[in-house]
Amino acid sequence: MKAKKSRQISPLEVAVEAARDKKAQDLLVLELSKVAAFTDHFLICSGASGRQMQTISDEIERRLKQQGLLPAHIEGYNHAEWILMDYADFVVHIFSEQARVFYNLERLWRTTRRAPDEAEL
């Protein structure tokens, strides 16, 4: 009987899973590797409150730290309208519902490929 090969989970997949576990809303992954030099992916999601947004951020940071990955930079944590977590290969954007509508990154990057689910990450 052959043992199943386990697939290595990417840091981006870890971040998506952490956000989902903390009930992030409207998760979206955009692939930017062909159109931007500064990162390969955006993970965009929303939280229903500032506290939930901070909880999502905390969980992503905690899980990635377990893998030895620290963010290069985090912005907006204390104000919790738009939390940005820069992991170089990907950037996490956690928005309040109002800020997400206002900044509308989905429109700004509308020509990029979207990953419809975690299976494509």
Q: For residue 100, what is the domain's CATH number? A: 3.30.460.10
- Domain-located, residue 90: yes
Segment 31-88, tens digit of pLDDT? 987 778 889 999 999 999 999 999 999 999 999 999 999 999 999 999 989 999 999 9
Q: How confident is the model at residue 120 (pLDDT cuts 50, 70, 90)?
A: very low
- First vs last C-alpha separation in the chain: 30
Q: What domain count does the chain have?
A: 1
Alpha helix stretches (DSSP H) within the chain: 11-21, 50-66, 97-103, 105-108
The Cα 24–Cα 12 span in angstroms is 15
pLDDT value, residue 118: 47
The residue behind tokens 């309208």 is 81
Q: Which residue range(s) make up the domain with 91?
A: 11-107
- Domain-located, residue 117: no
The Cα 42–Cα 85 span in angstroms is 10
From the number of C-beta atoms within 10 Å of its C-beta (0-12, 13-18, 19+), residue 46 rates as buried
pLDDT value, residue 106: 85
- Domain-located, residue 114: no
- Domain-located, residue 57: yes
6 phi, psi to nearest 5 deg: -95, 135
- Domain-located, residue 41: yes
- Domain-located, residue 83: yes
- Domain-located, residue 115: no
- Domain-located, residue 29: yes
What average pLDDT does the chain have? 88
pLDDT value, residue 119: 44
